[in-house]
């Protein structure tokens, strides 16, 4: 069991989880990512690595594999803990300490907030049946489309957020640019939950943390 307490634990290492991870770094949150497979990238690497995407904001065209590499590079510019080959089977919230216990096939993790980025409910029902049961037991509302969230991406419990294909929304909203926007919203609200004096919106990346030498090193600069 890992007793080290994290601010934000992100479950799922697809586009939503990886962008949430990057954003959590931007917000100075002590972050852990738990991914059930041995490779980060989610559907991009496991379902259609050689397809060309033409509808990702800012990219005229890019292969799924290359886009996954970019997501991973961006997510891992911060020193987050990344656990691969580890499947989450249960979540439990201790009301007294306000700490989440995240149980996996390898042990347990402790976190102040949790972001669920698990992929479509169809896939989750197959891979993470136990987790779905555990969430339902906690009172999280789940239907065929996914997990119900409010405008802050909160899933109905203190410090529990969800983003990407796993949330309940129309099927046509399951696409990458949407998942990443939701991931940023989930993390901003998780940060505010963990640290109530923090702003929900951190400012633009062009404005903040210019004092940090490793922040957004510009590869185009001389
Ligand atoms: C064939 C296909 C083509 C597509 N083409 C496009 C396109 O052209 N443009 C576009 O914008 N979108 C496209 N999409 C949709 C896009 O891939 C998804 O919207 C995107 O992957 C959602 O990201 P996500 O992180 O929410 O989910 P996913 O990418 O599914 O990632 C979820 C991750 O969570 C992990 N996970 C699940 N359960 C657990 C658990 N219990 N414990 C630990 N880890 C867990 C999974 O292993 C996975 O890595 C396509 C999808 C498919 C299937």
Cα separation, 63 vs 170, in Å, equals 25
Mean pLDDT across the stretch 153-181? Answer: 97
Cα separation, 153 vs 188, in Å, equals 10
**113 has which bridge partners?**
8
**Mutation test residue for ligand 1: of 48, 119, 127, 131, the one with most atoms within 8 Å of CB:** 119
How many CA atoms within 13 Å lie on the side-chain side of 83?
A: 20
Q: What pLDDT, in 10s, does the model give residues 132-141?
A: 999 999 999 9
| Cα 208 to ligand 1 centre (Å) | 30
Ligand 1 atom index nearest CA of 163:
26
* 145 C-beta closer than 6 A to ligand 1: no
Mean pLDDT across the stretch 19-26? Answer: 95
* 43 C-beta closer than 6 A to ligand 1: yes
Q: Where are the domains of the chain?
A: 5-194
Does the domain formed by 5-194 have CATH 3.90.550.10?
no
* pLDDT > 70: percent of the chain: 92
Reported confidence tier of residue 1, pLDDT bands at 50, 70, 90: low
| CB 117 within 8 Å of CB 93 | no
Mean pLDDT across the stretch 2-25? Answer: 95
Largest CA distance in the chain: 55
Please say if the pLDDT value at position 164 is more than 60: yes
> What's this model's pTM, rounded to 2 decimal places?
0.95
**Mutation test residue for ligand 1: of 9, 10, 11, 12, the one with most atoms within 8 Å of CB:** 12
Please say if the pLDDT value at position 216 is more than 90: no
Mean pLDDT of the chain: 93
pLDDT at 208: 66
DSSP letters, the chain, are ----EEEEEEE--SHHHHHHHHHHHHTT--EEEE-SSSSSSTHHHHT-TTPEE--STT-S-EEHHHHHHHHHHHHTTS--EEE-S--EEEEEEETTTTEEEEEESS-EEEEEEEEE----HHHHHHH-HHHHHHHHHTT--EETTEE---TT-B-SSTTEEE-GGGBSS-GGG-SHHHHHHHHHHHHHHHHHHHSTTS-SS---TTTS-TT-TTTT--TT--
């Amino acid at each position: 069991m890992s007793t080290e307490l994290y601010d934000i634990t992100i479950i799922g290492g697809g586009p939503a989880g990886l962008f949430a991870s990057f954003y959590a770094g931007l917000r100075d949150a002590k972050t852990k990512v738990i991914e059930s497979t041995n490779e980060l990238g989610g559907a991009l690497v496991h379902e259609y690595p050689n397809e060309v995407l033409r509808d990702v904001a800012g990219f005229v065209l890019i292969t799924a594999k290359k886009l996954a590499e970019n997501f991973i590079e961006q997510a891992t510019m911060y020193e987050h803990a990344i656990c691969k080959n580890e499947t989450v089977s249960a979540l439990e919230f201790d009301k007294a300490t306000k700490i989440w216990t995240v149980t996996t096939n390898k042990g347990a993790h402790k976190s102040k907030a949790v972001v669920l980025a698990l992929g479509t409910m169809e896939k989750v029902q197959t891979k993470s049946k136990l987790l779905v049961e555990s969430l339902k037991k906690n009172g999280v509302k789940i239907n065929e489309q996914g997990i119900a969230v409010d405008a802050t991406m909160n899933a109905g419990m203190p410090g529990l957020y969800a983003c990407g294909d796993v949330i309940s929304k129309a099927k046509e909203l399951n696409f990458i640019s949407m998942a990443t926007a939701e991931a940023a919203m989930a993390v901003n609200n998780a940060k505010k939950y963990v640290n109530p004096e923090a702003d929900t919106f951190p400012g633009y990346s062009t404005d903040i943390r210019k004092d940090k030498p490793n922040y957004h090193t510009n590869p185009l600069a001389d």
